[in-house]
């Protein structure tokens, strides 16, 4: 951002799909520290429409060529919201053009690509953040702080369940090409991130992962229901269940030697839900978590620090997803 550190971070949106439309672009508009500058889409009309509806500020806001978008000297950063398999090349191109990167999750379809993205940003001296918006749910953030401060005693176990019911296998994540996982990429990567966020500071790294993966309904190449059991260095454990075969309450549970927290329907886009601990209901103000992640990313660029989730942590998440289907 050169010496003009008080103006908003000028951000380009790479891809104009559902998450960009309904969550990321509105979050950029709400964040005083960032502004939508330009847009990249495969379709010129869609790029122009998206740019107009979301108030992109560049004199030339709509692009179909990534090199032209990245050549803009007034552009500071990109938000990559394309299909998983496209992230690596787009991130590396952005880094080489000197643009900071906030990348949707999972950051890549292989740990090797994730490492390449991280190295490209490091070598270019730009910031790389991975967009795990659930870290900005205010209730989750409250209780993560409590866990890290030892207020649950020694952490012993976590459980996370996040499922949905797909009517068919038309979703691009169900097929090879630009994706490698289905439910595990759509929501399982968030579940892994929550478990690691809460447990790593006191429990150490994951030392064992045991998966059960089923593909028996649509019989495609990717996971339909996935159960992951994890063991940490301390001996603490965690379990994750994701599925595209059934609807169920979204739940997260944290258990320590001296307390617990139960999260009901807090997982998702809206920063809402209910949390109960051993001491009773935990009150929190519902707030858009996507706005929180945009604000953190802009602050990281301004302050010269890593965003909340950096490339190394995003890479470890991808490595565990790879291990789950190995």
**pLDDT tens per residue across span 19-66:** 999 999 999 999 999 999 999 999 999 999 999 999 999 999 999 999
Which pLDDT belongs to residue 2? 45
Number of domains in the chain: 2
Q: What is the pLDDT of residues 113-129, one digit of tens each?
A: 999 999 999 999 999 99
107/155 same-domain check: no
Which pLDDT belongs to residue 3? 44
- Mean pLDDT, the chain, whole residue set: 97
Decide which of 277, 300, 321 is a domain's last residue: 277
Q: Is 142 among the domain residues?
A: yes
Residue 82 belongs to domain with CATH number: 3.40.50.720
253/266 same-domain check: yes
Put the strands of the sheet holding 259-264 in their side by side order. Answer: 206-214, 225-232, 237-243, 155-163, 251-256, 259-264, 274-277, 280-281
Instruction: Output the pTM of the full model.
Output: 0.96
Q: Is 177 among the domain residues?
A: yes
223/252 same-domain check: yes
In this prediction, residue 6 has a pLDDT band, given cuts at 50, 70 and 90, of confident
207/139 same-domain check: yes
120/240 same-domain check: no
Find the mean pLDDT for residues 322-326: 97
Q: Is 1 among the domain residues?
A: no
28/98 same-domain check: yes
Q: What is the pLDDT of residues 140-189, one digit of tens each?
A: 999 999 999 999 999 999 999 999 999 999 999 999 999 999 999 999 99
* Whole-Å CA distances, 158 to 34, 131, 294: 35, 22, 27
DSSP 144-180: HHHHHTTTTSSEEEEEEEEE-B-SSS-SGGGSSSS-S
In this prediction, residue 1 has a pLDDT band, given cuts at 50, 70 and 90, of very low
- How buried is 259 (Cβ within 10 angstroms: 0-12 exposed, 13-18 middle, 19+ buried)? middle
Which pLDDT belongs to residue 5? 52
Range of the domain at 54: 9-131+292-308
Q: Is 234 among the domain residues?
A: yes
Q: Is 319 among the domain residues?
A: no
Q: Is 226 among the domain residues?
A: yes
296/272 same-domain check: no
Q: What is the pLDDT of residues 192-249, one digit of tens each?
A: 999 999 999 999 999 999 999 999 999 999 999 999 999 999 999 999 999 999 999 9
b/e for 34-73, b at 16 or more Cβ within 10 A?
Answer: bbbbbbbbeeeebbbebbeebebebeebbbeebeebbebe
28/117 same-domain check: yes
């Amino acid at each position: 951002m050169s010496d003009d550190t008080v103006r908003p971070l000028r951000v380009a949106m790479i891809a104009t799909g559902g998450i960009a439309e309904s969550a990321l672009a509105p979050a950029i508009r709400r964040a005083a520290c960032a502004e939508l500058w330009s847009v990249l889409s495969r379709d010129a009309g869609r790029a122009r429409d998206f740019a107009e509806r979301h108030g992109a500020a560049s004199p030339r806001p709509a692009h179909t060529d990534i090199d032209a978008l990245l050549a803009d000297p007034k552009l500071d950063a990109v938000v990559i919201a394309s299909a998983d398999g496209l992230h690596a090349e787009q991130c590396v191109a952005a880094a080489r053009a000197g643009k900071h990167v906030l990348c949707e999750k999972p950051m890549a379809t292989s740990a090797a690509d994730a490492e390449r993205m991280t190295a490209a940003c490091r070598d270019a001296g730009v910031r790389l953040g991975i967009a795990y918006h659930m870290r900005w749910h205010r209730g989750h953030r409250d209780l993560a702080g409590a866990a890290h401060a030892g207020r649950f005693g020694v952490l012993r176990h976590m459980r996370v369940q996040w499922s949905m019911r797909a009517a068919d296998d038309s979703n691009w994540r169900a097929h090879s090409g630009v994706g490698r996982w289905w439910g595990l990429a759509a929501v399982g990567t968030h579940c892994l991130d929550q478990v690691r966020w809460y447990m790593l500071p006191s429990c150490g790294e994951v030392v064992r992962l045991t998966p059960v993966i089923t593909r028996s309904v649509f019989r495609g190449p990717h996971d339909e229901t996935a159960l992951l059991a994890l063991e940490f260095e301390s001996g603490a454990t965690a379990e994750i269940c994701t599925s595209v075969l059934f609807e169920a309450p979204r739940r997260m549970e944290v258990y320590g030697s001296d307390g617990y927290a139960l999260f009901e329907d807090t997982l998702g886009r809206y920063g809402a839900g209910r949390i109960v601990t051993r001491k009773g209901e935990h009150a929190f103000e519902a707030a858009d978590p996507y706005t929180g992640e945009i604000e953190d990313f802009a602050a990281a660029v301004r302050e010269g620090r890593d965003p909340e989730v950096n490339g190394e942590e995003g890479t470890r998440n991808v490595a565990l997803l790879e291990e789950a289907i190995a």
